[in-house]
Amino acid sequence: MSRESFEKTAPAAASGFILTTRHGVVDMVRRTAIMGVINVTPDSFSDGGRFLDADTAAAHGARLAAEGADILDIGGESTRPGAKSITAAEENRRVLPVIERLRANSSIPISIDTVKSEVARAALEAGADIVNDVSALRADPAMAALVAREGVPVVLMHMQGTPQTMQQNPSYENVVEEVADFLKQQAEKASAVGIAADNVVIDPGIGFGKNLDHNLALLRGLPSLAALGFPLLVGASRKAFIGRILDLGPDERLEGSLAAAVAAALGGANIVRVHDVKQAARALRVADALRFGAPERLETRHA
Ligand code: HH2
């Protein structure tokens, strides 16, 4: 069988996934998709305060889309260790104008990074497509039913503890097995409330109740998570474990973040969540060539 006809008949999961959203598909077939981060917060660990103004945040989102983002992830509440929680009204006040502005000019899939169903509902109404719930449907008992009713994709992320407590003393017997068991269990719960399996994305939650060794073990163990059969999202961008390895602050973690993104892609991630889209897109194109083969038509100006 020729390579071409094999690819046409191969099951999607063998070479990737397609996530269908209200504003088009996220194509993860033979490519790693990029989720670009927009934090509309005063206190996010790497870019807090930079995009609090809705126009600035929307302009940043448009830039990330032009640089190659497949999804824009909008968050109004920081989840950094020890972050203060805010009300749904305040979170809505931050994120909704940004979603509305982006939606007025673009049809890029947008995810709302929230654990609150009230924020998710308003964001979906304003034009968001995907719910990115770092509590994996545990923080708000109304979230699962909302996602099921709306029929939208949801990211289920693993976290030990809460953002207030998670870095106090994270501990596991076997972090990869425990995270895999948790994600499997939450995906089953999602299915039990009527969320389609095709709409589930899983995420090990790098840095969420994990020390340096746990994060490294998870990045090494991604093939076991990919084997669960759901699209796998990994967010390592600018995180503290990179700072620990390099002894550098959040502004100096680009190269470490790119190394982690490439490692994640080669380990089986289907989506990487990054702050620096342009640079990640270049790194991931090379990773994807290693992973899936070089693209057939390279438009080459440089030898
Ligand atoms: N990481 C952060 C926030 N949301 N969502 C998913 N699915 N996976 C992640 O790894 C993840 C996430 C933390 O990063 P950031 O948004 O830059 O910081 P903050 O939470 O301080 O706003």
Assess contact for 232 and 268: CB atoms under 8 A. yes
Separation of 43 CA from ligand 1 center, angstroms?
12
Separation between Cα atoms, residue 278 and residue 254, nearest integer Å: 11
Assess contact for 262 and 286: CB atoms under 8 A. yes
CA angle 14, 15, 16 (to 5 degrees): 105
Best probe residue, ligand 1, of 80, 230, 257 (max atoms within 8 Å of C-beta) = 80
Residue ranges lining ligand 1, Cβ < 6 Å = 37, 39, 41, 44-46, 75, 78-80, 113, 132, 134, 155, 157, 203, 205-206, 233, 235, 273
Q: Quick one: pLDDT band at residue 28, thresholds 50, 70, 90?
A: very high
Residue 270's pLDDT is what? 98
296, pLDDT greater than 80:
no
What average pLDDT does the chain have? 92
Assess contact for 145 and 114: CB atoms under 8 A. no
The mean per-residue pLDDT over the stretch 255-269 comes to 98
pTM: 0.94
Separation of 3 CA from ligand 1 center, angstroms?
38
Residue 299's pLDDT is what? 65
Best probe residue, ligand 1, of 37, 119, 219 (max atoms within 8 Å of C-beta) = 37
Measured from the CA of 157, which atom of ligand 1 is nearest?
Answer: 7
Q: Verify whether residue 84 is a known catalytic residue.
A: no
Residue 7's pLDDT is what? 40
Whose tokens are 């969420």? That residue is 208
In the chain, pLDDT over 70 holds for what percent of residues? 93
Separation between Cα atoms, residue 43 and residue 52, nearest integer Å: 10
Which residue has its alpha carbon closest to ligand 1 atom 21? 44
**Which entry of 31, 94, 210, 273 is annotated as an active-site residue?**
273
128-169 pLDDT, tens digit each: 999 999 999 999 999 999 999 999 999 999 999 888 888 888
Which amino acid is residue 1, in one-letter code?
M
Residue 1's pLDDT is what? 37
Q: What structural domains and CATH numbers belong to the chain?
A: 20-299 (3.20.20.20)
170-207 pLDDT, tens digit each: 999 999 999 999 999 999 999 999 999 999 999 999 99
Separation of 11 CA from ligand 1 center, angstroms?
31
10, pLDDT greater than 80:
no
14, pLDDT greater than 60:
no
Q: Verify whether residue 94 is a known catalytic residue.
A: no
Indicate the SS3 state at residue 37: strand
Q: Quick one: pLDDT band at residue 254, thresholds 50, 70, 90?
A: very high
